[in-house]
Amino acid sequence: MTYKPTAYRRSLCAVMLLACLWYTPGHAQPTLAQQAAQFTWIMEEYPPYHYTQDGVPQGYAVDVLHALFESHGEQFPAKRLVVYPWARAYHTLRNDPKAVVMSMALTPERASQFRFVGPLVSSRISLVAKANVRLPQSHTTQINRFRVGVVRDDIGEIQLLQQSLPFHNIVRVNDAEQLIALLLRDRVDAIAYAEDVVLFSIRQHSPMSGPLHVLQPLGSNDLHFAFHLQAPDGFVTQLQARLDLLSRNQTLLRLKNKHHLEDAAQLNAFK
């Protein structure tokens, strides 16, 4: 008797054949760029690290992001890059496993809340004020009237609250533009923020605003790409390996020089 496979057996064979083809070593796996397209990459206006000019994302961290893919013959999916105020970016990252925030300062508290790829660069956080403003003595009543501006959930707020300075009059806003406007309009006496971001923003948008100075350094932190805790291990690990390569082959150094980061945190340039 001639054996004739049933339709079920033929279908099962076809499925098994496709499975074998899929798992053969030669089968194309998704590239890192294809995986990156599944994420929402979030940046804030935080020059010189990331900002928009004529609607186009610019800055050191943006260049690093593109280099991570171009170094391996790929293209970063630029359409997946969006601009949010910091408060919204931070909230989104906490709740969306497919969100990435660039760039975030790594702190011990955040190390348990997010995953990080970095470091990209170190940034110094300070109390910055106009040249005629001085820091009141902590034992005087003036300290209670001294107004300090911060961006909500930003590293500047975190660093400020960790200091022993008895500041009680803290004004919170959602992004850097609002924060610097508070300072220039004398709505606050000082702001707790990254020195280099203040310097760049003033140079670009308010060059005639007058001299600023650092009242007190608050600390330094390394900036990273930040991921949700549920981000895929393989993707985060590969991205870190590529960043390490960019560090070893001097690409990061060349990009820092391109964006003048070596002297960005010198507020004496205003004087």
Alpha carbon distance 76, 260 (integer Å): 24
Tokens of 118: 């970095």
Q: Tell me, what's the pLDDT at 22?
A: 40
How many residues are recorded in the chain?
271
User: For the packed helices 195-205 and 176-184, what is the interaxial angle rounded to 10 degrees?
Assistant: 70
Question: Which parts of the chain sit beneath pLDDT 70?
Answer: 1-27, 139-140, 205, 207-209, 262-271
Q: In whole angstroms, give the CA distance from residue 215 to residue 217.
A: 7
pLDDT digits (tens, 9 = 90+) for 108-131: 999 999 999 999 999 999 999 999
Task: Give the burial string for 167-190 (b: 16+ CB within 10 Å, else e).
Answer: beeeeebbbbeebbbbbbeeebbb
pLDDT of 198: 93
Whole-prediction pTM value?
0.83
Which amino acid makes up residue 51?
A: Y
Cα separation, 43 vs 52, whole angstroms: 10
Burial letters 103-130, b for 16+ CB under 10 A, else e: bbbbbeebeeebbbbbbbbebbbbbbbb
Structural domains in the chain, sorted by start:
32-122+222-263 (3.40.190.10), 124-220 (3.40.190.10)
In Å, how far are 37, 43, 74 from 251, measured between CA atoms? Answer: 24, 21, 16
Tell me the C-alpha distance between 15 and 17, whole Å: 5
The token pair at 68 is 């991570």
Q: What is the pLDDT of residues 50-72, one digit of tens each?
A: 999 999 999 999 999 999 999 99
Q: Would you state the pLDDT for residue 213?
A: 93
Going through the chain in order, the beta strands assigned E by DSSP cover: 40-43, 51-53, 56-58, 81-83, 99-105, 115-130, 147-151, 169-173, 190-194, 212-227
User: 237: number of CA atoms within 13 Å, CB side?
Assistant: 3
